[in-house]
Amino acid sequence: MTEVVPFFERYAEAFVAYDAGAIAACYLTPSLLVRDGQAEVLGTAEAVAESVEALLALHRAWDVQKVQPDGVEVLEDGPAHAVVRVDWQLGRPRTRLRWLFATTYTLVPAADGGDGWRIAVAVTHDAPF
């Protein structure tokens, strides 16, 4: 079985740290994002960075300081890709307020051999944003 949990743990840590560069490095270009039924092709590293900065701006506005994968399920484990559903939990400090949503990712191996995976497609389900 494909080991993807460490990848998503690092991805979550980058969000907690508001590290746009580390988040953007998790994406392949071009990549496809689908949020709220709207498709967005991120064709360049700059487009990925802009998308990441917009999402981090929402996190800042909501004072998100906790980001964690609450469940990781490998739906398909191919020789050169993985399809993974991640149930995410976002939270604020000193409160029980949480946002829960899921995202399905298509991952491909990092071309540079790096830390294993890059996000090629992300489809967000029932997201608060």
Question: In this structure, what CATH number is given to the domain that contains residue 91?
Answer: 3.10.450.50
> Is there a contact between 30 and 43 (Cβ–Cβ < 8 Å)?
yes
The C-alpha atoms of residue 21 and residue 128 are separated, in whole angstroms, by 23
Position 1 scores a pLDDT of 45
Domain that holds residue 59: 5-125
> Is there a contact between 66 and 88 (Cβ–Cβ < 8 Å)?
no
Q: What is the mean pLDDT of the chain?
A: 90
Give me the percent of the chain exceeding a pLDDT of 70: 94
Task: Write down the pTM of the prediction.
Answer: 0.90
pLDDT in tens, 107-124: 999 887 666 899 999 999
For residue 61, what is the DSSP state?
H
Position 113 scores a pLDDT of 64
- Is the confidence at residue 47, as pLDDT, over 90? yes
pLDDT in tens, 9-20: 999 999 999 999
Number of domains in the chain: 1
Q: Which residue, among 6, 46, 26, 37, has the nearest Cα to 106 in the 3D structure? A: 26
- Is the confidence at residue 53, as pLDDT, over 60? yes
What band does 78 get if pLDDT is binned at 50, 70 and 90? confident
> Is there a contact between 83 and 75 (Cβ–Cβ < 8 Å)?
yes
The gap between the terminal CA atoms of the chain, to the nearest Å, is 32
